[in-house]
Structures are given as C-alpha cells and as structure tokens.
Amino acid sequence: MYVAEMIDFTVVGLTPAPPSEATLTVVIPADFTIWTTARILSLPSQCVDPLIAYWDLAHSGGPDANEAADMILRKIRSAWDA
C-alpha cells in the first residue's frame, strides 16, 4: 500500500511484523508522482500508477500474485489499445 505518510494500522487490528511475516507492505514513496500518473490516466486519486501496481504484484511472491498482475497488465494493454 502506498501512502503519503505513515498510518497507524493498529486501530483496525493490524500488528507490525517483520517483512518475512508481513501480509501488507506500506510504502511512503520518495516520488509522489505515482498518484499524478494515475490522475493523468483518469484513475481515482487514491490509485497509483498501474505499471507500479503491476510491478509490485508481479514481484510480491503471493499465492495469486501472478494472476493479479496479469489482470492489471491486460487492463493496461487494453487502455493503450483504445
């Protein structure tokens, strides 16, 4: 999850964990253009650049990460073909 500043997720029951045990990764990007690119593509302002989302999913190692990444890639290609 990309955020502009750190959020206290303990209020919703999440517990901090080392990366090897985490089920959610929070990133505060040094470059905030990830949201700008999403707005240029007419995506909701809370979305990030779809290519960054694809990259993150493709490299996350989750059990269905490849399937989710492929879905995003298909949508990206469809938008480019339009």
Terminal CA-CA length for the chain: 28
Average pLDDT over residues 47-62: 82
Q: What is the mean pLDDT of the chain?
A: 82
Q: Is 4 helix (H, G, I), strand (E, B) or coil?
A: coil
Average pLDDT over residues 70-81: 84
Residue 8 confidence class, pLDDT cut points 50, 70, 90: very high
Q: How far, in Å, CA of 80 to CA of 70, rounded?
A: 15
Share of the chain above pLDDT 90, in %: 7
Residue 45 confidence class, pLDDT cut points 50, 70, 90: low
* pLDDT surpassing 80 at residue 30: yes
